[in-house]
Chain A
Amino acid sequence: MKLVVKLLLTLAMGAATGLVHAEDFRMAVTTSFHNSGLSDILLPQIKHDLDLDVRLIVVGTGQALKLGRAGDVDAILVHSKTAEEKFVASAHATHRREIMYNDFVLVGPIDDPANIAVSKSAKDALTAIYEMRSNFVSRGDDSGTHRKERALWQFTGNDPQKFQADWYRAVGSGMGAALNAASGMNAYIISDRASWLKFGNKGNLTLLFAKDPVLFNQYAYLPINPAKHPHVKSKLTKALEIWLTSAKAQAMIGDYKIAGEMLFIPNARPN
């Protein structure tokens, strides 16, 4: 018994000493940025060039903005322009800097019951799904992807809030979990291209529709305002912004490919 207590004490001491970390640089990013694997390429280079350990909190855009508003992270990298502009307008971030964009794709069962593969536009594709009442999985988590999806439904003149749950399934979880759900119920879903390509459980799903310009998806970097949260490491947020928009980082983003496909198109404008 004594031995057990001793062992536990040693472990707890180890925990107490070993776990107290110097404060880190924290950035809230969207699942698509991380699940795509791009962060695994960029972070080691940031560590090498700036000697900066960026700690990623991987969440949906809604939660990322919330973390930024509370001052729990130093910067955020998200994709929902209207929400970001509101965020800057209320002075939670000093400004908004565009870094890159990727695109959303419409994924669905291979037999394509709503026949969206031949659609002329994203609007037509969604209208076809709506008319067929084909199973459709929505993120339903107020993330950037979910906001985009709602905006696209508005284009078709429908309000997703009024959709019946027997075909429109709002799963309220991250991109990966939502894709798992879609794969399980053979449903249509809107995903960012990167998450889809990296996804390992495709099952009976395939990419059916893409490339409509309304599906483009701009990522922006927002440093949290040190005037609101004095503990924010504003020197580091500045250094990271300069690095992300540098020719070198932009080239790395453009060169990142999965299965020969380019995932992100860098479009940062030099200051």
Chain B
Amino acid sequence: MNDIWLGLLNAFKLILSFDADLFEIVLLSLQVTLSAVLIASLIGLPLGALLAVNRFRFRRAAIALLNSLMGLPPVVVGLIVYILFSRSGPLGVFGLLFTPTAMIIAQVIIITPLIASIAHQALRDLWSEYHDLLISLNTSKRQRMMTLIWDSRRSLLTASLAGFGRAIGEVGAIMIVGGNIDHVTRVLTTAIALETGKGDFALALGLGFILIGLAIAVNMAIHALSRTERTGQW
């Protein structure tokens, strides 16, 4: 129990001392995860819309598959990305292993199904409302998808934020493909794993609290910037 208080204390100490290493780790965590969320949203949101408006033969199976991929184990994703990008793997020539780019790729694979699934659910409900209107206006498929995406942008924000939540706290995949290299690929979660391994629970917890604080700050910032929860816009 004592360790938890020490951890909290440590978190404050670290923040107040403007530790350069900490700043670097936090910044890299944000860069990797936000890039992954952006890319995964660019893939996942349209994919969700496509599944909502399109009727095709394997639609049910595709949706079931997408939903189950939400539970993709990060370690397995990490291992697959590692094998692909290893020097002796098929994509080894790019030399991407142990770089932040590889970490972003792994996280995109992990969170795209999650974002697409949540987006699909939200868009499907809206589609049942808009269906007759959009069909009678003789809109193209593309226009229908765009309308749905724009009109449910707030629910889609939740989808992206869920992706952010899964990615920022993820450690299994980025540990394997990033290697937790000091000053290159060390992020908050891998640093926490490292300090836990050294038995320095206070520092590990300190970093953990900073991670939680960071997630709260990013969520608040995005809500503030996108003006949700304002009067008349519930």
Binding site for B on A (CB under 8 A): 1, 3-4, 7-9, 11-12, 14-16, 18-21, 23-24, 26, 31, 35, 55-58, 69-72, 174-177, 179-180, 183, 198-202, 229, 231
Contact = CB atoms under 8 A, between A and B. Distances in A.
Interface stretch (B47-55, B58-66, B92-100, B128-136): B92-100
A176 B199 contact: yes
A15 B196 contact: no
A56 B181 contact: yes
Interface stretch (B15-23, B32-40, B69-77, B137-145): B32-40
B182 A56 contact: yes
Chain B contact residues: helix, strand, loop or mixed: helix
Contact of A11 (B31, B86, B88): B31
B197 A35 contact: yes
Given A3-B225, A19-B31, A70-B88, A174 B98 contact: no
7 contacts: A3-B226, A11-B34, A18-B31, A19-B101, A20-B101, A26-B181, A199-B198
Given A15-B31, A26-B98, A231-B95, A70 B225 contact: no
Contacts, number: 102
Nearest to A199: B199
Interface residues of B, number: 37
B198 A200 contact: yes
B220 interface: no
Contacts of B39: 12
Interface in B1-50: 30-32, 34-35, 37-39
B104 interface: yes
Nearest to B223: A4
Q: Which of B38, B101, B197 has the most CB of A within 10 A?
A: B197
B200 interface: yes
A27 to B, nearest CB: 10
Contacts of A72: 86-87, 97-98
B99 A21 contact: yes
Nearest to A202: B199
B228 to A, nearest CB: 10
Contacts of B226: 1, 3-4
Contact of A71 (B31, B88, B197): B88
B179 A57 contact: yes
B166 interface: no
A176 B225 contact: no
